[in-house]
Amino acid sequence: MTEDPHGVRDIPLGTPVLGFNGAELGHVREVHPHYILVGQDGEHEDLEVPVHAILSFADGQLHVSVNRSAVTEVDDVETVHRMDEE
């Protein structure tokens, strides 16, 4: 069994993700041991949020210590490519 030091396995897909400034970044699309893929409705680029940026998971929302400008954007083509590698 893989270790889960950040408890990311307990975060449900679809959970709203709020940035440090309180703005919604999107929703949890995928959960990985080192990052969370955050999807945005109507957008083609997902956001890769490192798990060490998680501040809390409360009231059905995931609060992170980063804003949109501080995370890596991942486009659809790259996401599909990554899925083929796993």
Residue pLDDT, tens place only, 25-64: 999 999 998 999 999 877 667 899 999 999 999 999 999 9
Query: For residue 39, what are the β-bridge partners?
Result: 27
CATH code: domain of residue 27: 2.30.30.240
**pLDDT-derived band at 80, boundaries 50, 70, 90:** very low
23, part of any domain: yes
Predicted structure pTM score = 0.78
**pLDDT-derived band at 68, boundaries 50, 70, 90:** confident
Domain extent for 72: 12-85
Among 8-17, 35-44, 74-83, whose mean pLDDT is lowest? 74-83
Q: How many domains does the chain have?
A: 1
5, part of any domain: no
